[in-house]
Amino acid sequence: MAEVRLLVDANNHLGEGPLWDVKEERLYWIDSTAAEIYSCRADGADVKRYFVPRHIGSMALREQGGAVVALANGLHFYDFDAQAVAFIADPEADDPEMRFNDGKVDRRGRFIAGTMSYDFDRYDADRGQRSTRSGALYRLDVDGRIARLDSGISCSNGPCWSPDNRTLYFTDTYCKEMYAYDYDIETGAATNRRLFASAHNMAGTFDGATVDEEGYVWSALVFGGRIVRFAPDGTLDRVVPFPVRNLTSVMFGGPNLDTLYVTTMGRPMWGIPQKERDKGGLFAVTGLGVRGLPEPRFAG
- Residue 133, pLDDT score: 67
Could you give phi then psi for residue 8, rounded to 5 degrees?
-135, 125
CATH architecture of 3-286: 6 Propeller (2.120)
The letter for the amino acid at 26 is: R
β-strand pairing of 236-241 with 84-89? unpaired
pLDDT above 90 (res 42): yes
Q: For residue 272, what are the β-bridge partners? A: 269
CA distance 148 to 272: 33
Condensed to tens digits (0 to 9), the pLDDT of residues 157-188 reads: 999 999 999 999 999 998 999 999 999 999 99
Q: For residue 30, what are the β-bridge partners? A: 16, 37
pLDDT above 90 (res 107): yes
CA dihedral 43, 67, 266, 119 (to 10 degrees): -160
Predicted structure pTM score: 0.94
By C-alpha distance, which of 15, 29, 117 is closest to 69? 29
Condensed to tens digits (0 to 9), the pLDDT of residues 217-269 reads: 999 999 999 999 999 999 999 999 999 999 999 999 999 999 999 999 987 66
Mean pLDDT, the chain, integer: 93
Alpha-carbon dihedral sign for residues 193, 198, 215, 169: positive
Q: Which of 207, 212, 258, 278 is catalytic?
A: 207
Q: Domain limits of the chain?
A: 3-286
pLDDT above 50 (res 152): yes
- Asked if 207 is an active-site residue, the reply is yes
pLDDT above 70 (res 271): no
